Structure 1
Amino acid sequence: MKLIQSHAVKTHIISGFLGAGKTTLLQHLLAQKPEGETWAVLMNEFGQIGVDQKLLPQQQGYEVKELLGGCLCCTSQLPMQIALSRLIQETQPDRLFIEPTGLGHPAQLLEQLTEPHWQSLIEMRALVTVVDGSRLHDAEWTAQHLYQDQLKAAQIVVVSHQDAMNEKDQLALNRLKQEYLAYVQHWLTSNHGQLELQAVDLPYVGVERKIQPLIQIQKTLAAGQAQPEIKQLPYHYVESAQGYTVAGWKFSKRWQFDFYDLLDVLCELTDWVRIKAIFHTNQGWMSFNFNPEQLNYKSGAENIDNRIEIITQHERDWADVEEAILKCRIDTLEKTQ
């Protein structure tokens, strides 16, 4: 089916955890549509019965479509591609909003929509994630991996329910701003979803991410040899954005590390802005959250893997860091492979 759209459509992804206020924000953004323009919305409901569509404008100049049953971020790309292609072809919109389910991983959707075959059809704008400011004090809520994934994918974070925030929420927000300084470019606040479109109508700026084999494995490859495609743990990755470099490693959850040796390695690192890690140690599962003011660590729940991220503003060779971390491993290769 050939598309006849004559210009790339400005496209916004409005993501956010369950109940954060995505639809309320979307209502207020849609109310700012200039007369004579046509705007379109593609909404994703995880269940089979659509509700949110009924909350959005139905008058002339708006086209709202729902994709039901599953998450368009995570499931097969084909239903989303078909729905989006038809919406663009049939509506010829001047602006498009996509609201994934609150259970979705927006980075996966963004990865799909920035592929080359969409570039002539879509002009991607900054990805927006909405968070409920009144729940920021709830550590169990904000510690969820899905919540963190949505924040990490965001170029703009809109903090909703500002009027209901208490002192603990504000302190938690300040910590979040430090924690995600390498990712989030703009933090905005909103009461009852009220926000000017121009505040979120910014160009999409991608994060350059390279997933690679462990550095010690890379050193075994011959000069000029292509690096193998990484499909499973362990691996090393490097991301660059806003003048920051994020170096990370993920290892199998079955790998076990000596806690005190690992703590020594992390405490001896220099020239970093932030260190976050979760490790399976001989003292149990431990999480580390280091910033220049505090070096915090505590026991935690079992994680899906061992992981560490180091944020810095300095270029460096990460081989020595990886070597030091791997020397802290205490399980045998035969036992854990």
Structure 2
Amino acid sequence: MKLIAPIKAIPIHIISGFLGAGKTTVLQHLLSQKPEHEIWAVLMNEFGQIGIDQQLMPQSNGFAIQELLGGCLCCSSQLPMQIALSRLISENKIDRLFIEPTGLGHPAQLLEQLTEPHWLQHLSMRSLVTVIDGSRLHDSDWSQQNLYQDQLKAAQVVVISHQDKMTDGDIFALETLKKEYEAYQQKWILTSQGKISILDIDQIYIGTKRLIQPLLKIQKNLTANEQPVIKQLPYHYVESAQGYSVAGWKLPKSWTFNFYDVLDLLCEQKDWLRIKAVFNTNEGWKSFNFNPNQFNYQTAQEGIDNRIEIIYQNEREWLNFEEQLFQCRIDLSE
């Protein structure tokens, strides 16, 4: 692929959000703010094979709209997305670019692709936006889904749509959600009919450094030159942003843990800011949501994997915790 380097890097915005959150409405309102002399482009991703949302976008001069159908550009092969994006950049003199991934997508993976060195001279990443439906915040079955949480965690700007339809329960849930994600220092915007200003989201993206590594027990026996490329579970990761760090583990769905052993282990931890986890236990799937004020756990829907994240500020040795966590397993055949 050959790209014609623009005079300056193009500001690029990712507008993500769960199914039905109101991403397209927000995008429509943002596009209505285009200066007359500029050309704005949109790359839309539909999971199915028939594009609908493109028909809702401006069809006049000054806009370049392109769809990528079938699958998710966040997690499928990067090649279709790179081809579509390269065409938009090379065939149009673009002043600003928006990407709307499918509601089933993981925006952090897309963000990782677009911040690779290959794109740095062409694109200037802006704050990642996640739109969530304010009128459904009271619905714990909705808000506890892993994908929903992954999209929210990736955001620097969180847009709460359908403000006019929010109940007292939704407002209470919103305040709780803000406290849960306080460590990420996100910007929260409430809106009705998707009305937000381009100035609200036009900030330079502050990257999160994420390092995916083998399990700490395995790392202990490896030399610096032996660090493998991690492509599948299980693995350990550490990511840092804005003065905070997250230690996380993703483990195979088939692993089963003793519920009370896990609960005891989490309750024993010290010097953390938040603990969130989902485990397949002998008592069924359980989610854990700990903050300094309350320790919550409840029955959860079946997850795609076992996972835990611990947010902290002070450096800590995690090997002992990992070993204790693995001692909570009750299916040691694997």
Matched residue, 2:314:
314
Structure 2 unpaired stretches of 5+: none
Change (3 A) 1:114 1:284: same
Matched, 1:132 2:133: yes
Q: TM-score, normalised by structure 2?
A: 0.94
Matched residue, 1:102:
103
Deviation per CA, 1:62-84: give whole Å up to 9, x if none. Answer: 12122222222222222221111
Q: Which segment is superposed worse, 250-259 or 312-321?
A: 250-259
Matched residue, 2:86:
85
Root-mean-square deviation (Å): 1.7
Change (3 A) 1:55 1:299: closer
Contact 1:38–1:93 (8 Å) recurs in 2: yes
Matched, 1:179 2:176: no
Work out the CA distance in 2 between the residues paired with 1:94 and 1:165.
Answer: 36
Write the letter of the residue equivalent to 1:120.
Q
Write the letter of the residue equivalent to 2:83.
I
Work out the CA distance in 1 between the residues paired with 2:9 and 2:285.
Answer: 48
Count of residue pairs the alignment pairs up: 333
Deviation per CA, 1:41-86: give whole Å up to 9, x if none. Answer: 1112222322222222222211212222222222222222111111
What SS is found at the alignment partner of 1:81? Answer: helix
Work out the CA distance in 1 between the residues paired with 2:60 and 2:225.
Answer: 58
Matched residue, 2:292:
292
Work out the CA distance in 1 between the residues paired with 2:279 and 2:200.
Answer: 39
Contact 1:152–1:184 (8 Å) recurs in 2: no
Q: How does 1:31-180 map to 2 (within 5 A)?
A: 31-180=32-181
What SS is found at the alignment partner of 2:196? Answer: coil
Matched residue, 2:324:
324
Matched residue, 1:268:
268
Matched residue, 2:202:
201
Change (3 A) 1:225 1:72: closer
Work out the CA distance in 2 between the residues paired with 1:256 and 1:300.
Answer: 14
What SS is found at the alignment partner of 2:21? Answer: coil
Contact 1:156–1:185 (8 Å) recurs in 2: yes
Work out the CA distance in 2 between the residues paired with 1:67 and 1:221.
Answer: 42
Q: CA deviation at 1:39?
A: 1.1
Matched residue, 2:213:
212
Contact 1:153–1:183 (8 Å) recurs in 2: no
Matched residue, 2:230:
230
Write the letter of the residue equivalent to 1:57.
P
Change (3 A) 1:284 1:251: same
Give aligned-pair identity as a percent.
67
Work out the CA distance in 1 between the residues paired with 2:126 and 2:106.
Answer: 17
Matched residue, 1:27:
28
What SS is found at the alignment partner of 2:183? Answer: coil
Write the letter of the residue equivalent to 1:193.
G
Write the letter of the residue equivalent to 1:276.
K
Work out the CA distance in 2 between the residues paired with 1:306 and 1:145.
Answer: 11
Deviation per CA, 1:185-238: give whole Å up to 9, x if none. Answer: 21111111111111000111111111111212111224x343222222222111
Deviation per CA, 1:119-176: give whole Å up to 9, x if none. Answer: 1111111111111100111111112222122112211110011111111111211222
Work out the CA distance in 1 between the residues paired with 2:144 and 2:289.
Answer: 12
Matched, 1:259 2:259: yes
Q: Which segment is superposed worse, 235-244 or 275-284?
A: 275-284
Write the letter of the residue equivalent to 1:137.
H
What SS is found at the alignment partner of 2:184? Answer: coil
Matched residue, 1:280:
280
Q: CA deviation at 1:184?
A: 5.5
Matched residue, 1:246:
246
Contact 1:253–1:303 (8 Å) recurs in 2: yes
Deviation per CA, 1:5-40: give whole Å up to 9, x if none. Answer: 322111111111122111111111111112211111
Contact 2:128–2:205 (8 Å) recurs in 1: yes
Contact 1:238–1:247 (8 Å) recurs in 2: yes
What SS is found at the alignment partner of 1:48? Answer: coil
Work out the CA distance in 1 between the residues paired with 2:263 and 2:113.
Answer: 39
Q: Which segment is superposed worse, 17-26 or 65-74?
A: 65-74
What SS is found at the alignment partner of 2:226? Answer: coil
Write the letter of the residue equivalent to 2:298.
K
